[in-house]
Amino acid sequence: MIKAIFFDLDGTLLNRDESVKQFIYDQHMRLSTYLSDIHIDDYVKRFIQLDDHGYVWKDKVYKQIVEEFSIEGITAEELLDDYLTYFQFHCIGFEHLHELLENLRNENYKLGIISNGFGTFQMDNIKALKIETYFDSIIISENVGIKKPNPNIFLQGLSLLNVSPHESIFVGDHPENDIYAPSKLGLKTIWKKSNQYEYVAADYMIDDLIEILDIVSDNTQSNQ
């Protein structure tokens, strides 16, 4: 019987691509004193390319942007600080996010987040989505010193919720970190489809978060 559902954050609950796009547009306008010589579309496009869906940390991204666009008057470090401060105000959740979590809580499933990233930054984003109260545990890689796909981060999540792998499902968008790694431990997996990957060998695939309700229900009933 399924007792717990674990979620990745970026690309799974948080629509990171849209959030980043909105933030970068806003950053260009807010810091127009330093960035106005760069066309806003060029600034946004280059940031998104260098960011690589969040897999390149922003210190490297901003360093490259400052060099490529010959930005003066503001440093890469200051642009990074701006990102860390203001990104949270542009967080967009995927459709049906709150409806899904509300239904799962009402059905008494245990819920957890296991996310790579920096602790304070990711927690700010979780709070910005207004979802932190739905979760029984939130594990962020910086806070525990290990990151996905290391199996120990999943084992820690299972321990915190006092469930076995066979009682749990992991939902995520990354084929290695969110699907292959937890499946090796015995968790069922749900791939939140992403334009980055054509096919991922998960137990289930979804376009919309709300589809998780039927998957969880079917797994619970089939084991009764």
Residues paired with 204 in a beta bridge = 190
135 and 116 fall within a common domain: yes
Q: Are residues 74 and 151 in the same domain?
A: no
Residue 56 shares a structural domain with residue 121 = no
Residue 127 DSSP SS3: helix
Do residues 15 and 54 touch, judged by C-beta distance below 8 A? no
Does residue 131 contact residue 93 with C-beta atoms inside 8 Å? yes
pLDDT value at residue 50? 96
Whether residue 111 sits in one domain with residue 81: no
Distance CA 115, CA 219 (A): 24
pLDDT at 223: 56
Residue 150: how many other CB atoms lie within 10 Å: 16
pLDDT at 199: 84
* Residue at 164: amino acid letter: S
On whether both 86 and 98 belong to a single domain, the answer is no
Residues 81, 102: one domain?
A: no
Q: Supply the pLDDT for residue 221.
A: 66
How many independent structural domains does the chain possess? 2
**Do 164 and 206 fall into the same domain?**
yes
pLDDT of residue 198: 82
pLDDT for residue 195? 84
Specify whether 120 is located in the same domain as 202. Answer: yes
Query: What is the layout of strands, in order, in the sheet containing 204-206?
Result: 137-140, 110-115, 4-7, 168-172, 188-192, 204-206
Q: What are the per-10-residue average pLDDT scores of the chain (224 residues)?
A: 97 96 96 96 96 91 98 98 97 98 98 96 98 98 98 98 98 97 98 89 97 90 58
The domain of 134 spans 4-15+93-222
Beta pairing partners, 112: 6, 137
Give the angle subtended at the CA of 173 by the CAs of 104 and 153, to the nearest 5°: 75
Judgement on whether residues 140 and 197 belong to the same structural domain of the protein: yes
| pLDDT computed for residue 54 by the predictor | 87
Please check whether residues 20 and 127 belong to one and the same domain. no
Q: Which residue, 90, 115, 136, sits at the end of a domain? A: 90
Query: What's the DSSP call for residue 74?
Result: S
Residues 207 and 101 in one domain: yes
Residue type at 34? Answer: Y
Out of 43, 60, 90, pick the residue that ends a domain.
90
Q: Are 147 and 218 part of one and the same domain? A: yes
Which of 26, 60, 90 terminates a domain? The answer is 90
User: Is-contact 208 95, C-beta < 8 A?
Assistant: yes
